[in-house]
Structure formats: structure tokens, C-alpha cells
Chain A
Amino acid sequence: MQQVVVTGLGVVTPLGHGADVFWPAVLRGESAFAEVSSFDTTKYRIHRGAEIATLGARDKYLSEEEAASMGRTAQFALVAARLGLRDSGLSSLDPGRTGVVMGTTSGEPSEIERFNDLDLSGDLDQIGGRFISHYPCNHIPGQLATRLKAFGGGGPVMLPVACAAGNCAITYAADLLQLGEADVMLAGGADSFSRITFTGFAGLMAIAPERCQPFDLNRKGMMPGEGAAFLVLERAEHALKRGAKIYAEVAGYGLSCDAFHMTGGDREGKGAVRAMEKALERSRLNSEEIDYISAHGTGTKSNDLHETIAVKKVFGEAARKVPMSSVKSMFGHTMGAASAIEAAVCCLTIEHGVVPPTMNLENPDPECDLDYVPNESREQTVDVAMSNAYAFGGTNASLILRRWLS
């Protein structure tokens, strides 16, 4: 099996855009939680989230025409993809050999909101062509493929696997690269803040009032966020041939499904366990060889508990020694972007030898008693990182990234 490596990263997050801005903010433990401003939250019990206020200086990665004609999720995705490409040093792309695959939870929910706003004001005959062109979620990778001229790998595709989407996109890209169906793959995920997602999670009573506190005794839930991230993936020989910087190798991954409940995980974490075990098996690694785990760590009572149980089952005694942190503690749950951002985080831990903290961990939960790197980032050599993601509908995806050794 050909080795697949990461040669570029691009992130658009509530803590900043581009690894050069995002990574220092993560290591400083900054918080992106604030009062929601994109819609009126008066009728909700909770009012905070992690929105992206502006693209700031990175808005130069989006033309005026693109900003005007593309939906919010698509804009984030395009900027993240361009940042990734810039980082990879690829100056030109072969359109037939470069592909785009990404994930999302909701795609462009603003189009649903627009449909209803028009409908409720009696103006549905003004819907025009936009709903059909912009709402089907593969419109977003289609936009990226069109604007970046990347039509390879069988064409752009969306894997709308909710919170596990980014990891799934990376596995899809790895498959295509190993089969030689593409030479460069952009794999990532994106989602944007919306009243629909906010309402949905609020209705599940899953949103915390102030901030996200993964693994804390008094954790009250997740915080909705938004963003995008793309990794540039190539076969190792292709990257080496052009002298690319290599962040890490995709050592292996594991996919499983709980087949239990749409929103709640199986209490014993069996599905999560299988995903991690498969990832280790395929990477030909023992659990002791994992130096860092990027947790799904949403901050809900149940996820953090079940995730801890699952990690203990897979890692045994080593569970207490491996640092496991949740960056969602800083910028919330970016949904379809989450595992893509977290894969980028894993690459950065390998590169810089520092692991990010789980912020807001003030009162340890006796049932969550692992090393979550509380409140302060920590210098630590990381050769192998594991990233876990668990989605609505029960899909579990574990990804292992390993330092590239030539």
C-alpha cells in the first residue's frame, strides 16, 4: 500500500485563519466563545457560541464576486482550501489529477432559512434558481473544484457524515491516492453557524450556557461553532519528488457505526472502541505508541464519559499516560469542520512538539480521570497522534497520523 502524506494545512476557525494565527492561539488557550450575533437568541435559554466574526486579513483569499455569490459554508471552505494549497507550496495544479473531497453536517442551511423566510412572507415565487444551485450539499466541493480547477479523483464529492466528516474525507482521499486515481487530494470539512443547528442542539438541551468544559465535573454541554479546514494529501513519492514539506503520514484509520441511536452513543462505547482498534491495527501500532489523542470531547455529559470509557478499553493502563485533549474547549464544535481542524492540530503537534490544552477544566470528574492536558499546553514530543470523531447517526472515525520518517 502506498504511503499517503499531508503536505499542507489550511484552517478557518473562530480562533483565527491559517495555522500561523490559529496554532499560537490554541497553545495560548484562547477562548472564542461570545454572545451569538448572527441571529436573535432572545427566545432561547442559551445565547453563546463561537462564531467567525470576519475573515480579517485572509479575506484576500476570497474575491468580491465569490463573497457575493457563494454561501457562508462554501466561502469558509474555499478560503481554507486556498490556505492549504498555499501552505503546500503547490504552485500549479493538474486539473485532471487533483481532486476535492470534503464533509459537512448541514451544507448551506441558510438556503433552507431563505426558503422559509420567503415562504412565511408569501414570496416563495421569488425563490429563483438559487435553492437548487446552492442547497444540494455537493455544491460546496463543486465550487471548490470549479474555482481551484481541481476536477480529478472522479470529481468533487461531499461526504455529509456530520461530526465525523473531516476524518471520513481524509480516508476517501487516501483511497483514491493509493489507487492512483489522483495525485493530489484536498480533503477537509466545513460548516457554518445557523439558526437551524443552534435550535436543534438547543432543543436537545445539549448547549452549555457559558463555555465548553470537556471532561470537567460540571460540564454542561457543547458550544456550537463554525469553520473549515483542508489538508493537502499526496502519495509520499509524489511529495518527495517535488521537495514538499511533509507534516505527517496517514498511518491508518478505522471506521465503525454504533447502529444504536441517532444522537446518543452506545453506553459502553463499543463502536468507538472498534474504530480505534481498527485504526491501530491498520497502522500496525500498539496503543502504547500513541503519543497524543485529539479527543472528540464535545463537553456533553455523555460524550466525554463514553469517550473516556472507550479509550480506557483500548489503551488499558496506557490510557493514563497518553495526553488527550479537546480543542473544542476553545472554539466549540465546528461540526463537519471539526475532525478536519483536529487532523490539522495533530499535524501541528507532531511538527512543533507541543500538545494543546483542554481549557476550562476546573473540577476533575472522578469518572473522567485521564490526562486531558488541563488548562495549559505542554511541550511533548509527538511522533504518533490519534484523532477521534463521533457523529450523529453513530458513525465513528479514528485517524492516526505519524511523523514522516524518510
Chain B
Amino acid sequence: MAITGVGLITALGDQPSEVHRVRCEGRSAVRVLDFPERDAKLLGASLTDFDARRYLGDGNLRPLNHVGQLAISASQGALETAGVSREERDVHEMDLVLGTMFCSAHTITQFDRKAQISGPKYAMPLEFANTVINAASGQTAIWHNLRGTTMTISAGTVSGLRALEYGARRIALGWSDQFLVGGVDEHCFETSWAFQQSGHASDGSEEASVSPFGTSRRGFAPGEGAGFLVLESGASARRRGSTILGTVLGWGSGYCPAHESETLRAATALEAIATALSMADCEAARIGYLSCSANGSIKGDEIEARVLREVLGDRLGKVPVAVPAESFGNALAPSGIFQAVEALETARQGVLPPFYGARNGNLGAAELGLSPEPMECAFDRALVFSCGLDGSVSAVVLGINS
């Protein structure tokens, strides 16, 4: 089915072309974040100058928390680029599915904290309403008048791709002809601290960057953002005369508990990829571009490296491979959407962003044939996949329109 709208809020920009340009310049949003009141320095890739008013105008932002503002802003971009007007949504119910790993972890922690400190009486009602994990989708539906299905889906870091799958499935079943799908997660001290303490995230004490596939990688940098797509059935896209940015040809997901071996986890990812390829009626050899979610994670990157080697075989080093998390950090739920948007933009621009870690002696990258310089490329089938830290995996095959 067709992708007819894209909306992004990322640490690298909010337009696919701008994000692509920043990525081609080899820039990254990963840096050391200082939390002086916590006496902590953590690696992260948070947004620096996000102002929801830029996207949402002068409406009442008070009831919205940060994650809600991210979701509303990005979904606005998707609705606008798809040309789904406010008037249309007033008449025709629009469906929404939002993927999120944490949603409002910061809001719920602060809510409980204040109640513990000042007593439960001063727990603010609207803040409670924003603590629930479906708060962002509720706020998005209210703001944009989305009155159809409003679903929230949580599958860890692959939540954005699972949301895409959900919307695609509903369209394939004929329940819907237009779906707003996406992912959102925010950066906050609470989850960054917990990621670092659990050994998943690097503490940035040695370097202010992450090293996907690097032999000395020490974990990822938590990021944030929101990414939304409008998916439409072919019939709907034709009827509305929508510009088709790309097509979703197939999808597959799976789960292998995180404690299992890299071998087993990679096998699960390969099964999900096989399902996606089969649905897309596309052989692995036809894939002309891959995007993975490798982000510096010690175990995760090993799994993804094995997947790349297996899928590409002796085409390793000859097929463009993108590693967006090098610049975005691990943006959690929206990562997969960022990956999909980058795939489409890369095809449009004909240039693959570099893997700049390759310039710094990242041996893993060299072995996988990742290019330290931007590279020209052309392809019509892209494979986007992600292996989440909890063991969930998702894969999507995209078709590029010529």
C-alpha cells in the first residue's frame, strides 16, 4: 500500500530532505548531556530547540506533555503532506496507531514523586491523564480530530514499525483505507539513567559518540522524537490523487527473549525478514538497500551484523547499508519510522549517507563494508529492519517509485 504522507520531529531536523543533508554531512545529535542537579553526565541525543508552537500555532498547549507535543507535531506534518485536511477529518473518520516504548515515563514518575513529597492531594488531574501509556495517542486524536480507530501499540524499540504493520494490516483486511501510523518517545533523565545503569547505554565518559558495530562499542545513546506516515490503500491514493512517496510491500515481526544467544536472536530476525520478503514477493537478491537499527548496543549490533551478513551474503560491501542510529542515537519507538523515511529520501536523492565511524577505525564497519563517504546509489526495493533490546524484531520491505 501507498505511503502518501510523512511527518518528522527529530534531533536532526523536521524535513526528510534536511535530515538527509545533515546525515550526509556526517553530523550526529549524540552528545554528552549534563544533569547537574543529578550530578550525572549521560550520553544522549535529545532535541535542542523543539517548540511545538512552530507546528501547532497558538492553540492551548497547556494540557500537553512533551511526548504529546512531539506526537501531535509530527502527525500534523504527515497529515499535511498527505493532503488530509481538517475538513476531511471532520467528515471522514481518520484512523491512528501510535507506537511507543515508554510514552510518558517522565510524566508518571514526576506525578508519583510530587504526590510522595507533597501528599496525594496535590496530584494534578490533567497530569494524571497524561501519565497513561495511551496519552500521546489520545492527545493526538483530540488535536487532529481523529475519530476512527485510535490504537497505541507497545513493543519496545520496534514499536514504530509494529504500528506501521498494524495500519498496513488493517488496510489489507479492508477495514480502513487510510491510516496515520507512527511512533513517539521522549528523552528524559529517568529512562536515560535507567538505560545507562542497566548497561544498555553508554555513559559517554570516554567519547561523546556511539560506535555501531565498533569492536569497542559500549552501548547506545538514548534519543527521542516522533515520526508518522500516512498509509493508504492503492484505491484511496488514486481516488484522492495523492502523491505516492513509496509503497509498503511486505512486513514481518518476531520475538526471541533478550537473554537468548545472538545466534537464536539473529535467526528470529531472519525469519521476520523472510516473512516480509515473501509477502513482498521479493527475493533477498532484489533488495538494493538495507537499513538497520544498530546503535552501539553490545549485543544488539552483533545480532544485526549477523543478519546483514546472512541477508547480503557475498553482496556484503556492495549494497548500500544505512545505520541512522549513528546520528539519531536510539530514538526508541520512532527509530523504525526514521529508518523508513530515510530509505525513501535516499532513493529520491540517489545518495547514501556515510557511516562516519568508518573514518575512525571502526573495524566492525569496515568488515561490513560501510562507506565512510557519501555514496551514489539507486534501488527500487529497500529492506528496513530493527532488532529491539527486548528481543522484539520487525522488518518492512518498501517499494520505491521511479
Contacts and interface: CB of A to CB of B under 8 A. Distances in A.
In the complex they form, whether A and B have CB atoms below 8 Å apart is answered with: yes
Interface of A: 43-44, 104-107, 109, 112-113, 115-117, 119-120, 124-125, 127-133, 135-139, 142, 145-146, 151, 154-162, 168, 172, 175, 178-179, 195-196, 198-204, 255-263, 271, 274, 391-395
A158 B154 contact: yes
B116 interface: yes
Contacts of A172: 166
B392 interface: yes
B197 interface: yes
Contact of A257 (B117, B125, B141, B390): B141
Given A154-B254, A274-B147, A161 B152 contact: yes
B113 A116 contact: yes
A263 B125 CA distance: 9
B390 A142 contact: yes
Band of interface residues on B: 35 or more
A259 B392 contact: no
A257 B129 contact: no
Contacts of A391: 134
Interface stretch (B104-112, B335-343, B372-380): B104-112
B151 A179 contact: no
Contacts of A179: 169, 172-173
Interface string B377-402: 00000000000011111000000000
Contacts, number: 227
Contact of A139 (B119, B256, B390): B390
Given A259-B142, A262-B130, A138 B390 contact: yes
A155 B134 contact: no
Given A136-B101, A257-B146, A392 B154 contact: no
B120 interface: yes
Contact of A160 (B115, B120, B132, B147): B132
Contacts of B119: 43
User: Which of A44, A198, A199, A257 counts the most B-chain CB atoms under 10 A from its CB?
Assistant: A257
Contact of A263 (B124, B129, B162, B268): B129
Contacts of A104: 133
A109 B108 contact: yes
B99 to A, nearest CB: 10
5 contacts: A120-B116, A132-B195, A138-B390, A145-B255, A196-B115
Nearest to A1: B173
Contact of B147 (A201, A202, A256, A262): A256
Contacts of B139: 262, 393
Contacts of B191: 132
A353 to B, nearest CB: 33
Contacts of B255: 142, 145, 151, 154-156
Contacts of B200: 132
Nearest to A117: B116
Contact of B111 (A120, A200, A257, A260): A200
Given A109-B108, A162-B134, A196-B112, A157 B198 contact: no
A160 B140 CA distance: 15
Nearest to B113: A116
A145 to B, nearest CB: 6
A200 B109 contact: no
Nearest to A397: B149
A138 B156 contact: yes
B148 interface: yes
Contacts of A202: 120, 123
Interface of B: 63, 93, 96, 101-103, 105, 108-109, 111-113, 115-117, 119-121, 123-126, 128-135, 137-139, 141-142, 144-156, 159, 162, 165-166, 169-170, 172-173, 190-191, 193-195, 197-200, 252-258, 268, 272, 389-393
Contact of A175 (B116, B159, B173): B173
A155 B132 contact: no
A142 B116 contact: no
Contact of B121 (A43, A157, A263): A43
Contacts of B258: 133
B266 to A, nearest CB: 15
Given A139-B390, A257-B141, A260-B142, A157 B154 contact: yes
A160 B152 contact: yes
B233 to A, nearest CB: 16
A157 B113 contact: no
A115 B189 CA distance: 12
A274 B258 CA distance: 41
A142 B124 CA distance: 33
Contacts of B112: 109, 112-113, 116, 195-196, 199
Nearest to A132: B198
Given A112-B109, A394-B150, A131 B198 contact: yes
A151 B113 contact: no
A154 B275 CA distance: 10
A204 B128 contact: yes
Contact of A120 (B113, B145, B151): B113
B133 A107 contact: yes
Contact of B108 (A112, A128, A203, A257): A112
A394 B145 CA distance: 11
A400 to B, nearest CB: 15
A226 to B, nearest CB: 16
Given A105-B133, A151-B254, A391-B134, A258 B128 contact: no
Given A115-B190, A136-B102, A138-B390, A393 B153 contact: no
Nearest to A266: B147
Contacts of A196: 108, 111-112, 115, 131
A392 B170 contact: no
A202 B125 CA distance: 9
Contacts of A158: 153-155
A31 to B, nearest CB: 25
Given A200-B128, A203-B128, A394-B138, A155 B194 contact: no
A106 B141 CA distance: 20
A130 B197 CA distance: 9
B115 A199 contact: yes
B253 A155 contact: yes
Nearest to B390: A142
Given A155-B255, A160-B152, A393-B141, A129 B123 contact: no
Contacts of B133: 104-107, 137, 160, 162
A106 B193 CA distance: 21
Contact of B123 (A125, A145, A154, A199): A199
Given A136-B102, A255-B148, A43 B120 contact: yes
Contacts of B253: 154-155
A128 B197 contact: yes
Nearest to B126: A262
Identify which of A109, A113, A145, A160 gathers the most chain B CB atoms within 10 Å of its CB: A160
Please give me the 6 A-B residue pairs with the lowest Cβ-Cβ distance, nearest first: A393-B138, A155-B255, A200-B128, A160-B133, A257-B150, A129-B198
B53 to A, nearest CB: 21
B110 to A, nearest CB: 9
Contact of A138 (B144, B155, B173): B155
Nearest to A271: B147
A158 B123 CA distance: 27
